[in-house]
Amino acid sequence: VLAWNTTLSSHLRHGDLREATELFRQIPDTRKNVVTYNTMITGYAQAGQLHLAWQIFDAAPKHSIVSFNAILSGCAMHGDLQSAASLFHRMPAWNTVSSTAMIRVLSSRGRIEEARDVFDSMAEHDSISWGTMIHGYLQSGNLHVARDLFHRLPHKTVTSWTTIMSGHGDRGDMEAAAAIFAAMPEHSLVTCNALIAAYARAGQVDEAKRVFAAMPERSVASCNTIVAAMCGAGEVDEAETVIASMPVVDVISSTAIMSGYARAGHLDRAKSLFDSIPEKNRVSWTAILSATVELGNVEEAKCLFDQMPELDVVAVTALIAAYARAGHIDPALELFLAIPDPDDVSWLAIIHALVENGQIAAARGMLELMPDRSND
């Protein structure tokens, strides 16, 4: 069983859900233990296949707290607060993992106070629950509380240092971020990537390049980060040289350089790049969609939209904005009303669309319908 379980999780670590499923089927039920089931539950839950995750859960003869946590984390990872909360309250027991997953989903949905309640009610904390709570405060824009918690954190890890460094960078305080970087006892690959990304967001591409050049080792994410930074500064040619030097590229690299071309006005180059991406995902599709929208081509954008294999709120919002800019408020409204769970950006997009088209009363109505996530 041990060998099977190890192979199973190795497939999942490589993102090979098919292979894992195949193996899981081949293992005789009598030879599976609770870990085998839990591993498979995790695989489905992280892939967003909650239904299949529950199927395995129900098929398992025994459950441990890990079985519950695996599903809970899947919900948390996908921002499904409703499912997460109801499972959290139905579980027979909680440990730090359960509470941390709950803190994460609550704070990612703007429920920072409730996240803090969970944190405060925990029997004991570890560096991960601290880090998650700190990250939650940063996401809600509360740098002061985040910093205060960080200072009270008994055992700071490279991860918590990186979290607080990025938090300062997000606020545009690159001096503080750089000071934190210098003060940390050690740097990981992710720490350096985070600093590069922070410099890029602050518009300091040269500093970003300096950090990148000084890195002893680089991951695909490191290269993708600097590629995006260069593209954001309009240096697509230089970004191409980074891409050319990479031993492997992924869908993120391709989408980044494609957007770079699109933003630089080379839509044709962007399109041919798009066609050459083997593993296009929602993000690649939306990127080419909004590049098309940028050029005011609503018909073509709609055509792309209809071809998308899967939609999300980001893609729909891009098309809403396209219609609105062209003065077509009706299809924009229709699209908006079909979104199952509109987020703040899509609400603001439709309200802005109504205002721009002179429908002030309707805009006012929408504004009132918009849920105030900070107060409940």
Partner RNA sequence: UUCCCGUACUAGGAAU
**Subset of residues 93 to 112 that bind RNA, contact rule: CB under 7 A:** 95-98, 100-101, 104
Answer for the pair 168, 138: CB distance below 8 angstroms, yes or no: no
By beta-carbon proximity to RNA, the closer residue of 290 and 357 is 290
| Contacting RNA within 19-38 (CB under 7 A) | 33-36, 38
347-356 contacts, C-beta under 8 A, 24 or more apart: 349/317, 349/320, 349/321, 349/324, 350/320, 350/324, 352/324, 353/320, 353/321, 353/323, 353/324, 353/329, 354/329, 356/324, 356/325
Eight-class DSSP state of 100: H
Answer for the pair 88, 72: CB distance below 8 angstroms, yes or no: yes
Count Cα neighbours of 269 within 13 Å in the Cβ-side half-sphere: 14
190 binds RNA (CB under 7 A): yes
202 binds RNA (CB under 7 A): no
Q: What is the phi-psi region of residue 234: left when phi exceeds 0, alpha when psi lies from -120 to 50, beta otherwise? A: left
Report, in Å, the least distance between residue 246 CB and RNA: 11
Report, in Å, the least distance between residue 230 CB and RNA: 11
Q: From residue 210, give the alpha-carbon distance in Å to each of 34, 181, 192, 229.
A: 49, 14, 11, 12
Report, in Å, the least distance between residue 139 CB and RNA: 9
Q: Which residue stretch of 39-47, 79-87, 328-336, 366-374 sits at the interface with RNA (rule: CB under 7 A)?
A: 39-47
By beta-carbon proximity to RNA, the closer residue of 52 and 313 is 313
Report, in Å, the least distance between residue 3 CB and RNA: 9
By beta-carbon proximity to RNA, the closer residue of 21 and 73 is 73
- In this structure, the number of other CB atoms found within 10 A of the CB of residue 57 comes to 20
Of 147, 156, 171, 282, the one binding RNA (CB under 7 A) is 282
By beta-carbon proximity to RNA, the closer residue of 21 and 346 is 346
Of 21, 107, 140, 157, the one binding RNA (CB under 7 A) is 157
Number of residues that bind RNA (CB under 7 A): 88
By beta-carbon proximity to RNA, the closer residue of 142 and 188 is 188
Please tell me the distance from the alpha carbon of residue 121 to that of residue 114, in angstroms, as a whole number: 11
Q: Which residue stretch of 175-183, 207-215, 280-288, 327-335 sits at the interface with RNA (rule: CB under 7 A)?
A: 280-288
| Contacting RNA within 325-344 (CB under 7 A) | 343-344
Query: Counting every residue, how long is the chain?
Result: 376
Please tell me the distance from the alpha carbon of residue 322 to that of residue 328, in angstroms, as a whole number: 9
| Contacting RNA within 123-142 (CB under 7 A) | 126-129, 131-132, 135
Of 84, 178, 197, 249, the one binding RNA (CB under 7 A) is 197
- Radius of gyration of the chain, Cα coordinates, nearest whole angstrom: 23
